[in-house]
Amino acid sequence: MSASDRPYRKVLVERTAEEATTTAATLLKTIVCEAVSQRGACHVALAGGTTPHALYQKLAAEGASGEVPWRSMEVFFGDERDVGQDNVESNYRMVQRTLLDHVPIEPTKVYPMRGDAEDLQAAASEYEQAIRRLLPAGAGGLPRFDLILLGMGGDGHTASLFPGSEALNEGKKLVTSHYVPVLGRRRLTFTFPLVNAARNILLLVTGEDKAKAVLGILTDDQESRQLLPAGRIAPTDGILYVILDAAAARLTGLTHA
Ligand code: 6PG
């Protein structure tokens, strides 16, 4: 176990963003195949942002011929912007164009968040109800995703859980809508109780501009770690894989094995 591994966390450092993407794709495929063979389905929540584009494109390029049992997948989204599905800012639209349009997934098993709903809190609560209905619950009674894919911003935000925002301390709602002062916009997002109940969380972070935040979330000091939203990812009974390229890991002292 390296200095930056904790019992629930495994940090993997690759030389380049491309290699980090390949590692993420391999891990994702292993997790999906295992979930489908053990439980007959895989419930996954995908991330927005630019980092996962290459990962989605890689999976899309393998398409139907790859190892992923797409027909047994149920696809959710960890966060969404306050826009409709056709808007260029929509996470759903990005994932649809880079991945979902190219693989044999059942359209009825893809669950976009309603980012253009007039009442976003009602949309968040509907989404939570759908998750509670469709996912098996774990020992703590919370629905358990087989896999939640996440990215991280340079300020340490993950999903739409931004530093200083009210959603960070949400202990009851599993999905919420909140105003993010730094964006001047509302977002829909999973909250930590739902994130941390997952079986597997894959946090993919690349690039020099994330190095400081990466150092912050990997520190052994729990109090400082929790200052950054992504530092609060700590699965209660699952595994967090942090996949980095060398640029993002630069300040941690961790290198490619
Ligand atoms: C979003 C995300 C968000 C993202 C980070 C990193 O909707 O934008 O879900 O949490 O993962 O902002 O974004 P980049 O990959 O673009 O750096």
pLDDT in tens, 213-238: 999 999 988 899 999 999 999 999 99
Ligand 1: distance of its center to the CA of 158 in Å? 7
Q: For residue 1, what pLDDT band results from cuts at 50, 70 and 90? A: very low
Please tell me the distance from the alpha carbon of residue 251 to that of residue 236, in angstroms, as a whole number: 27
Ligand 1: distance of its center to the CA of 151 in Å? 5
Please tell me the distance from the alpha carbon of residue 68 to that of residue 36, in angstroms, as a whole number: 10
Contact 105, 71 (CB under 8 A): yes
pLDDT score at 5: 67
Ligand 1: distance of its center to the CA of 33 in Å? 26
Contact 123, 188 (CB under 8 A): yes
**Ligand 1 pocket, CB under 6 A:** 47-51, 79, 91, 151-153, 157-159
Stated as kind and residue range, the H or E segment containing 134 is helix 120-134
Instruction: Please report the atom of ligand 1 found closest to the CA of residue 159.
Output: 10
Question: Could you give phi then psi for residue 23, rounded to 5 degrees?
Answer: -65, -40
Q: How far is CA 22 from the centre of its chain?
A: 17
Burial class (CB in 10 A: 0-12, 13-18, 19+), 58: buried
Instruction: Please report the atom of ligand 1 found closest to the CA of residue 80.
Output: 7
In 15-164, which ranges are E strands?
42-46, 73-77, 79-81, 147-150
The residue whose CA has the least distance to atom 10 of ligand 1 is 159
- For residue 4, pLDDT over 70 is answered with no
Ligand 1: distance of its center to the CA of 186 in Å? 15
Please tell me the distance from the alpha carbon of residue 218 to that of residue 238, in angstroms, as a whole number: 17
| 119 Ramachandran zone, left/alpha/beta (phi>0; psi -120 to 50) | beta
For range 113-122, the mean pLDDT: 98
The residue whose CA has the least distance to atom 12 of ligand 1 is 153
Digit-coded pLDDT (tens) for 130-187: 999 999 999 889 999 999 999 999 999 999 999 999 999 999 999 999 999 999 999 9
Q: From 243, 242, 254, 253, select the one nearest 9 (Cα to Cα).
A: 242
Contact 226, 232 (CB under 8 A): yes
Instruction: Please report the atom of ligand 1 found closest to the CA of residue 160.
Output: 10
- For residue 62, pLDDT over 70 is answered with yes
The mean pLDDT of the chain is 95
Task: Please choose from 46, 57, 77, 79 the residue to mutate so as to test ligand 1's pocket, defined by most ligand atoms within 8 A of CB.
Answer: 79
Angle at 67 between CA 113 and CA 28, to 5 degrees: 50
Task: Please choose from 157, 191, 208 the residue to mutate so as to test ligand 1's pocket, defined by most ligand atoms within 8 A of CB.
Answer: 157
